[in-house]
Every structure is written in C-alpha cells, then in structure tokens.
Amino acid sequence: MPKKPLINQTSHIPILDGPNYTLWSIMMDVELSARGLREVCHSDTPRSSDPSTLIEWNQANIEAVQLILSHLHQEIIISIVDALTVKRAKALWAKIAIKFASQTVTNRGRTWVHWECLKFTGNIKEYIKECSNILFDIAGIGISLPPDIMAYSILGKISWDSSQYDHIIDSMVLSMNSNINPQKLLTSYQSCSGIKTQKGTLKRPR
C-alpha cells in the first residue's frame, strides 16, 4: 500500500529536461521508495486472487504515474506519453530510461572532455569559477571519481611557474593524509586570493 510521503513537498526533485537525467532519476527513485511506489515502476501487475492486493497495486500505479509526469518537461511529456505509458508506471519509467540512457553517456563524455580541456591561464578567480562549474556538472550527471583524484587533477592544471600559489600546491601535495578533496582545495585557493566562500557543498557560481 502506498505510504504517505516522507517529504510533503517534492520541489527537491528537478524537472527532467534531458541533460539532468542522472540526477533526476536518483531523486525520483528516492521519492518513489519513500512513498512505497518504487515496486510498481519495476514490476508487472501481481498475479493475485486477492482483490485488495490488486486495488492497492493499481492505486500505487496511478500515484507513481502522476508523480513522474509532474516532474517532466512539457516537451518530454509529448515525446514520452502514449496510450500505454500514461497508464503504466513501469512502461513510463522504462521509456524514459531508454530515451535518455544514450544521451547520458554522451553528456558524460562531453562534460569530461570539457574538464580535461580546462586550463589555468593565470586568473585564479576565473579558474576557481570554471572548476566549480564543471565539478557541479560532473556531480550532476553521475561521473564518480575519488575526491583525491579530482583534487590532484585541479592541482595539475595549475601552472607550476605561478610562484604565488606554490605554497598551496606544496602543502596540499605533501598532506597525503589530510583527506584532500576538490572542495577543500578550491577553498584554499579562494582564501589565498581573497574570494569569499560559502560553507557547505560545492555550488555553481553565478
């Protein structure tokens, strides 16, 4: 039987627009699980002679379809919804996954190439902004790498002839046991250059 939502509002779930499929699917899956609706998105109608079981299943199916559709961009609704997907949560979920799976791979490749091509040109403020932007995108599309690897990649893009930042590079490289991560590294750069930071997780700069 569907449960009451653990979160009364679902504004935390983004509207699926295509490029954000990975983030959307994770957030939607969490919400479906919290509401007791996940099973109807991955299983067929149960073969049961118990009328109450079928009633509960059908109700959960309707709620799941409504929840998913309410978080789709209008253009995606037009391309996804048909006579079957408007009635079956499993079919709707599967069609969305099929449509955006290949696009997700392409987006991941494009984002990673963008990261690989990023260079430090001497402007630390712009470099921090670009790093934060791309790291935000990397997290959003589901590229998962150890934090220390990403941090060392940031270090590697800094021009080694920039003596102004040598002390940061040296201290971070030598601190192998300091749980180095991108957020900590960028915060160090920001502090060095006098750029104000916000506490918490990395956010896309405006």
For the chain, 206 residues long, the average pLDDT of each consecutive 10-residue run is 44 85 89 94 83 92 96 93 95 90 74 88 82 81 81 76 62 59 73 46 44
Q: 76-126: per-residue pLDDT in tens? A: 999 999 999 999 999 999 999 888 876 667 777 888 898 999 888 878 788
Distance of CA 77 to the CA centre of its chain: 21
Round the CA-based radius of gyration of the chain to a whole number and report it: 22
Domain boundaries, the chain: 21-103, 118-193
Residue 40's pLDDT is what? Answer: 95
Rounded CA-CA distance 188/128 in Å is: 10
